[in-house]
Amino acid sequence: MSYFEEFEQANVKPALQPTNDSIAKQTRSKKTDIPLWLSNNAPRNVEELRAVRYTLYHRCSRAEFKVSDKQDNETFVLSGRQSSLLIISNKARRYLLWKLRTLAREQGWVGRRRIELFAL
């Protein structure tokens, strides 16, 4: 008897395929929530950028950005001008902070002082 015949007779069941309600699908959908929230609630100037970053670092409300429904140290709801976002972990919070740094570089809000100092 060959190895493959033994394998077939062992009644090995194939791995379960993920269903529509699987964790993988839920995780993918949560990754799209942050860019969507940011597209509607992105800071319009440096002061708003500081306010939202303060809110994320200290998990407390500031200016137009409100923190509510603190369930534990990692989970809370961040409300902006137009919508709310459920932050479910430190990883999600850090991802949003990274997206804000990227936005600040694109807008030219970061590095301005450094350039001005070298121009003097």
> Does the residue 43 lie in any domain?
yes
Residue 84's nearest CA partner among 97, 102, 66 is 66
Q: How many CA within 13 A on the CB side of residue 101?
A: 7
27, part of any domain:
no
pLDDT (tens digit per residue) in 10-68: 554 444 555 555 555 555 555 568 999 999 999 999 999 999 999 999 999 999 999 99
Cα(106)–Cα(80) distance, integer angstroms: 21
120 part of a folded domain: no
Determine the average pLDDT of the residues in 77-104: 94
Element (H, E) at 47: helix 46-58
On whether residue 114 sits in a domain, the answer given is: no
Domain hosting 68: range is: 33-104
**Residues of the chain with pLDDT > 70: what percent?**
65
> Is residue 37 domain-resident?
yes
109 in a structural domain: no
Residue 33 has what pLDDT?
A: 87
Residue 23 forms part of a structural domain = no
Contact between 88 and 81 (Cβ < 8 Å): no
**Strands, E, within the chain: which ranges?**
66-68, 76-79, 84-87
User: What pLDDT shows up at residue 73?
Assistant: 83
As a whole number of angstroms, the distance between CA 53 and CA 67 comes to 12
**Total of domains in the chain:** 1
Asked if residue 117 is part of any domain, the answer here is: no
